[in-house]
C-alpha cells in the first residue's frame, strides 16, 4: 500500500521494485488502461490496475491475501462513466471498462503522494 509521501512498489515475490519519495517520481496516463511511472534512476514502469478475477486464484490470490490488496477501485475515486458505457455489454467489454477505471484512480493516489505529471 502507498503510505505518506513515499511510493513503494513490490514485486510478486516480495522484492521491492521501487521505493522513493513521491517528489522524485513522475507519472501520467498513457493509455486508457495504463499509467507510466518514471523513477529517479530513469527507469520507466507501466502499471495497469487489476481485474478482480486476477486475484481469485494462484499467485494473484496469494498476493491479495498477503498485502490486503483491493481489486476494485474505490467507488468514490472512480470518475463517472460516459454515456457510451451502457453499450459495453459483452464480457470482454465489461473487463475493458474495469481496466479503464484504474488509471485515473492510481494516478490520483500517486498525485496525493507528491508525484508530478
pLDDT the model gives residue 115: 92
Query: Residue 55: its pLDDT value, please?
Result: 82
Cell numbers for 70, please give them: 483491493
In this prediction the pTM is 0.72
pLDDT of residue 56: 85
Q: Are 33 and 96 in contact (CB under 8 A)?
A: yes
Q: What is the pLDDT of residue 2?
A: 47
Phi, psi (rounded to 5 degrees) for 3: -135, 145
Q: State which residues of the chain have pLDDT below 50.
A: 1-3
Convert the pLDDT of each residue in 3-33 to its tens digit: 458 888 887 777 888 999 999 999 999 998 8
Burial class (CB in 10 A: 0-12, 13-18, 19+), 13: exposed
| H helix or E strand, kind and range, residue 94 | helix 91-112
Amino acid at each position: 500500500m502507498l503510505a505518506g509521501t513515499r511510493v513503494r512498489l513490490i514485486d510478486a515475490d516480495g522484492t521491492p521494485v521501487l521505493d522513493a519519495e513521491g517528489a522524485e517520481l513522475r507519472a501520467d496516463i498513457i493509455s486508457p488502461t495504463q499509467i507510466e511511472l518514471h523513477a529517479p534512476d530513469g527507469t520507466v514502469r507501466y502499471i495497469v490496475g487489476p481485474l478482480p478475477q486476477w486475484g481469485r486464484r494462484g499467485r494473484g490470490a496469494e498476493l491479495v491475501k498477503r498485502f490486503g490488496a483491493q481489486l476494485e477501485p474505490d467507488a468514490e475515486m472512480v470518475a463517472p462513466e460516459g454515456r457510451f458505457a451502457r453499450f459495453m455489454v459483452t464480457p470482454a467489454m465489461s473487463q475493458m471498462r474495469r481496466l479503464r477505471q484504474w488509471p485515473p484512480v492510481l494516478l490520483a493516489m500517486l498525485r496525493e503522494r507528491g508525484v508530478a505529471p
